[in-house]
Amino acid sequence: MSQTLNADLCIIGGGSGGLSVAAGAAQMGAEVVLIEKAKMGGDCLNYGCVPSKSIIAAGHAADAMRRGGRFGIKSMEPEVDFPAVRDHIRSVIAAIEPHDSVERFEGLGVKVLKDAAVFTGPREVKAGDINVRAKRFVIATGSSAAVPPIPGIQDVPFLTNETVFELAERPEHLIVIGGGPIGSELAQAHRRLGARVTLLEMFRVLGKDDPEVTEFARKRLSEDGVTIREGIKIASVSAAGGHVAVEIEEEGQKETVTGSHILVAAGRSANVEGLGLEAAGVTYSPKGIDVDARLRTSNKRIFAIGDVAGGLQFTHVAGYHAGIVIRNALFRLPAKASHDFVPWVTFTDPEIAHVGLTEAQARESLGDDVKVLRWSFEENDRAQAERETEGLIKVVVGKRGKILGASIGGPRAGELLQPWVLALSQGLKIGAMANAIAPYPTLSEVGKRVAGSYYTDALFGERTRKIVRFLLKFG
């Protein structure tokens, strides 16, 4: 027999966004039901951020052995135990799992239902034999790897981020379809772990970031031995004697790339199917659920957050959305989400990090009222000591020193980005960054140095020299 639960808040999806809402709301006194049909922790913990950064770390360790000669340490080719690498990935996930577990959330007072959720009306969801009626709902079902309509792709075995981390053996030759962040990160990691890798991209590898900044990562990918094919069209995919064959077309010429495995990393699709959104009166498309600035759907009692809301697909965006929803759903505050200063990082080596406007975007909107500041990692003493000098920080500044955006391509770029995120979100001007004291010797000095370069012409120009010479006449 069916059972009915009544709740203040019902959340569909136990990924990072849904869990953040559930934990916050429950601890604030709300009656919360959380419905998750698969693994708690969602894509980020099980198939995305956590396993990908774990395999990247393994690749870093292998690369360090090959490049020890830079420090007077004998370089050597590492012996990679690929099943042990898989165990490393699993152990990292296992270490984090308790924070996202059913037990933890039930301990917080959340009622967790392990089943698929389907709306049966505008204020009711069915999960197995249980009906849930709630005052407010939050859809946080995330996204999945998109599979492009390539002829033959469905007829051959292929990997996505949901399956690539479970490989028991190292791929002999991994063909990666898609040269965005996910494809580039996993291409480099697998190459460093000893696999042959070919990276296929229809447009330009890492094309969404500033090309001046991404060039360092693109160069390192090639140096690592990743074969990059850009500006190509994938005509078809087929089986070839126990392998897979990808027919590509470039400038009218066709050729075939044969490999042992294919990894599809060509974008993400919002998880909107099977939710019964029509019954709930929720408007959506294959790109995601339509939401307003308060993250409300066309049914104002239902919110959508994270990847399924069709915007920027980052775990930290889902976490930010969670706070907006709590303010709206629990406190009835008209909180609105702003995505003006959302940072992102691509975890290639070197990393690529960005927030705000790129140079191209700034010039398109402001024309000549833009000043571009650059500072090379070659001029940083810590980078020299660590033999990691390939990199650049690039800051775009508008009138009266207003910071418009920052892009970093270099070692630990993701860690170096946070001061610029703070500066943009708080409306700080370039002088605030230039006047801050950076500890020496750290990579963080590149931020202070690039900010200080804004004043170089004024401080060391002829006008200043004349003023100094005049003042020195008086003793």
Q: Check whether 306 is labelled as a binding-site residue.
A: no
User: Is residue 267 annotated as involved in ligand binding?
Assistant: yes
- 143 marked as part of a ligand binding site: yes
**Is 53 among the annotated ligand-binding positions?**
yes
Does the annotation flag 160 for ligand binding? no
* 180 marked ligand binding residue: yes
Q: Tell me: is residue 106 an annotated ligand-binding position.
A: no
Residue 214 annotated in ligand binding: no
Annotated ligand binding at 182? The verdict is yes
| Residue 185 assigned ligand-binding role | yes
Q: Determine if residue 178 is labeled as part of a ligand binding site.
A: yes
CA angle (376 as vertex; 372, 378 as ends), nearest 5: 170
Any known ligand binding at 405?
no
Instruction: Tell me: is residue 141 an annotated ligand-binding position.
Output: yes
Known binding residues for FAD:
53, 141-143, 307
Q: Which residue positions form the known binding site?
A: 53, 141-143, 178-185, 201, 267, 307
Binding residues for NAD(+): 178-185, 201, 267
